[in-house]
Structure 1
Amino acid sequence: MTIFETIARKLDRTGVNPVRWHAPTPPPLTGVLEFNGALDGAHRWALPSGDGPEDVAVDHDGRVVTGASDGRIWRFDQQGRATELAHTHGRPLGVEVMDDGRFLVCDAERGVLRVDESGRVEMLAESAAGHPVVACNNSAVGRDGVVYFTDSSARFPIADHRYDLLEHRGTGRLLRLDPRTGETDLLADGLQFANGVGLASDESFVLVAETGSYQISRVELTGPSQGRASVWAGNLPGIPDNMTSQTPDGLFWVALYSPRMKVLDMLAPYPALRILAANLPDAIQPEPEQVGWVIALDAHGKIVRSLQGGKGSYAPITGVREHDGWLYLGSLTADSVARVPIAR
């Protein structure tokens, strides 16, 4: 440990303990990644209260469901009119629609919840695989009702996610829950801020976005390699957040919170500087570029679509869902959900 690092640790008020790493050079923004302005002019539906509709789902009747910072679950009809479904008394993030019409909610403060049409909120898991769920984030639900969900960090709650990203210790987990039995098991750990989850159409594998390492990892669910984890899509052009399960067209849509932050990558090899960055006042913290961006990857992890918005577009985008010719978008901080028509 260098003298500079020793001093930085003595000055630290956050508890971060960074490890040294080297971020890959971002890919050039050419070809499919070239700017196109496809997200400019998105239609916005305002939340009646709260903000931060972090994820979006579409129910069996084509209505958009999301959760807000004040704990409320909202459902929008196709005219953008919102109805309150429930109140989790926490911070709902990932939302999925189950086959029976109920909703699976990852609540950052409470854990994995199930919500029904009457507004009843049922706790499914506040601990998993022998440890508390610290940062419940996103999920995917199989045809058999089994839930695959992320616990982003064992060190920091979602509200302090930037500390986990600066630390880069990889304490995130991908977990599996059977609601019928309440049993949980660990599918992968050591993940760099485990975030969005997506299931393959045949449910032979599950994907998990690792926000802190700009990649998506794949875990085999069937066959001779069952349980094996590997990098499925590495060195993404932006910071990945939530993602979808595979669409009928064979795509996995991924929300990019922002383009890569040069300053964050430059700090990667220097733990002392990252400690100092964690302790900066909020007013001078490095801020990501506020532009909208979603990408779609094929079954092999190749980026085949990239839709972007310029400055002033709906951003940051943290949730994405394709349905009936539209892309529905969610955001960690916006006061509305949004949608854009999607050209085939």
Structure 2
Amino acid sequence: MTLFESLARKLDRTGVDPVAWHPPSPPPLTGVLAPNRILDDVQRWVLPTGEGPEDVAVDHDGRVVTGGNDGRIWRFDHQGAATELANTRGRPLGVEVLDDGRFLICDAERGVLRVDEKGRVDVLADSAVGRPLVACNNSAVGRDGIVYFTDSSAHFTIADHRYDLLEHRGTGRLLRLDPGTGQTDLLAEGLQFANGVGLASDESFVLVAETGSYQVSRVDLTGSSQGRTSVWAENLPGIPDNMTSQTRDGLFWVALYSPRMRLLDMIAPYPTLRIVTANLPDAVQPDPEHAGWVIALDVEGRIVHSLRGGKGSYSPVTGVREHDGWLYLGSLSADSVARVPLPPSPDVAPGA
């Protein structure tokens, strides 16, 4: 251990223990990734209280549902007027609408919750496979009611997510929950800040966004390869967050928190520099570019849509959902949800 490393570890107050990694060079911003300003002109619906509608879902009547940093679950009508449905008393993140009209919430502080319109909140899981849920983040729900969800980190809460990204030890998990029995099982571990979850339309596989490695991984759920984990889309142009299950047009939408951060990639091979970075004051931490970005990928993991905004546009985009000609967006820190017209569909085979 060098003197510099010894000093850095002695002064560390975060508990990070980074490992070296070598991120790939970002893909060129050409073709479908060529810069555009589509997200500069979004319609915003402001939360009555709080901020940070991290994810968005659409209920059976076409109304948008989200949760803010004050624990409240909101539903917006078609004109953008909000009604409070419940309060989780935690930090709601991922939102899904269940077949019976209730809502499945991944709460960063309380775990996997089921919420109804009368305000009742049931905890379905606050631990999984023998470990507490440290950073319950996002989910997808199968037609049989089975929940696929992420626990992003074994060491750091969502509020301290940057420490997990700087550490890069891959302690995230993709889990499966049977709400009928309360049983959980592990689908994949060793994930780099496991985040968004998406199901194939035929439910033959499930996808999980790995924020810390700029990729989306795939876990096969059926067939001879059942249980196999593989990289489905790698070297994304930005930092992936939540994602959708496969749409009728065969697409998976992925929210990009920000474009790739050059400084973060530069220090990736140097654990000691990342310890130092973790301990810097917030004002001088590596700062993501505040510009909106969402992408859509086909069933083979190829990017077929890229919608971007300029500096100061609605951002960071952390949630995305399409419905009835609109693309609805959520954000970890904005005071509103947003929507923009859905772009024309490319020629994509919808099957999985």
Superposition deviation, residue 36 in structure 1: 1.4
Which residue does 1:224 correspond to in 2?
224
Superposition deviation, residue 125 in structure 1: 0.2
Where in structure 2 are the equivalents of 1:92-111 lying within 5 Å? Answer: 92-111=92-111
2:16 aligned partner, one-letter code: V
Measured in 1, the distance between the counterparts of 2:103 and 2:3 equals 52
Report the TM-score, using the length of structure 1 for normalisation. Answer: 0.99
Superposition deviation, residue 312 in structure 1: 1.8
Which residue does 2:326 correspond to in 1?
326
Which residue does 1:47 correspond to in 2?
47
1:36 aligned partner, one-letter code: N
Which residue does 1:302 correspond to in 2?
302
User: Alpha-carbon deviations, 1:83-133, whole Å to 9, x = none?
Assistant: 000000000000000111110000000000000111100000000011110
Measured in 1, the distance between the counterparts of 2:11 and 2:271 equals 13
Q: Secondary structure at the match of 2:101?
A: coil
Measured in 1, the distance between the counterparts of 2:143 and 2:282 equals 43
In the alignment, structure 1 residue 162 sits paired with structure 2 residue 162: yes
2:25 aligned partner, one-letter code: T
Which residue does 1:72 correspond to in 2?
72
Where in structure 2 are the equivalents of 1:81-92 lying within 5 Å? Answer: 81-92=81-92
Superposition deviation, residue 41 in structure 1: 1.1
Where in structure 2 are the equivalents of 1:1-344 lying within 5 Å? Answer: 1-344=1-344
User: Alpha-carbon deviations, 1:216-272, whole Å to 9, x = none?
Assistant: 000000001100000000000000000000000000000000000000000101011
User: Alpha-carbon deviations, 1:16-72, whole Å to 9, x = none?
Assistant: 000011011000000000011111110000000000000000000000000000000
How many residues are treated as equivalent by the alignment?
A: 344
2:185 aligned partner, one-letter code: D
Measured in 2, the distance between the counterparts of 1:193 and 1:253 equals 18
Superposition deviation, residue 2 in structure 1: 2.6
Measured in 2, the distance between the counterparts of 1:336 and 1:34 equals 27
Measured in 2, the distance between the counterparts of 1:101 and 1:60 equals 7
Report the TM-score, using the length of structure 2 for normalisation. Answer: 0.97
Superposition deviation, residue 285 in structure 1: 1.0
% of aligned pairs identical? 81
Measured in 2, the distance between the counterparts of 1:131 and 1:312 equals 40
2:162 aligned partner, one-letter code: R
Superposition deviation, residue 306 in structure 1: 0.3
- Spell out structure 1 runs of 4+ moving beyond 6 A: none
Measured in 2, the distance between the counterparts of 1:189 and 1:318 equals 22
Which consecutive unaligned segments of at least 5 residues does structure 2 have? 345-352
Measured in 2, the distance between the counterparts of 1:118 and 1:216 equals 36
Measured in 2, the distance between the counterparts of 1:19 and 1:303 equals 30
User: Alpha-carbon deviations, 1:261-313, whole Å to 9, x = none?
Assistant: 00000010101100000000111111100000000000000001000011121
Superposition deviation, residue 343 in structure 1: 2.6
Superposition deviation, residue 3 in structure 1: 2.5
Q: CA RMSD in A?
A: 0.5
1:168 aligned partner, one-letter code: H
1:318 aligned partner, one-letter code: T
Q: Secondary structure at the match of 1:340?
A: strand
1:294 aligned partner, one-letter code: V
Q: Secondary structure at the match of 1:174?
A: strand
Q: Secondary structure at the match of 1:70?
A: coil
Q: Secondary structure at the match of 2:273?
A: helix
Q: Secondary structure at the match of 1:39?
A: helix
